[in-house]
Amino acid sequence: MKPGTRILLVEDDQAITSFVGPQLKHRNLSVRCAYDGEEALAQIEQFRPELVVLDIMLPKFDGVGVLNRI
């Protein structure tokens, strides 16, 4: 991936995002995290990610619902 690629990491387990997010940033990627389905949809509109890493079991709105919306 080229430096600056926008990635949205959607995961409700903050232990996972606290590990994976910094690893992606270390590779010069632009990373944002969302912790539930509603936040993911808002971040997709604002951040316009090129790649979404999406957990299926999320609070408020599950990953399948997020995928269907995008």
Q: What local confidence, expressed as pLDDT, does residue 64 receive?
A: 96
Q: How many CB atoms lie within 10 A of CB 64?
A: 13
Q: What local confidence, expressed as pLDDT, does residue 6 receive?
A: 98
12-21 long-range contacts, Cβ below 8 Å, gap at least 24? 12/36, 12/55, 12/57, 12/58, 12/59, 13/55, 20/53
Q: What local confidence, expressed as pLDDT, does residue 31 receive?
A: 98
Q: What local confidence, expressed as pLDDT, does residue 57 receive?
A: 96
Cα separation, 10 vs 39, whole angstroms: 9
The model's pTM = 0.93
Q: What is the pLDDT of residues 13-61, one digit of tens each?
A: 999 999 999 999 999 999 999 999 999 999 999 999 999 999 999 999 8
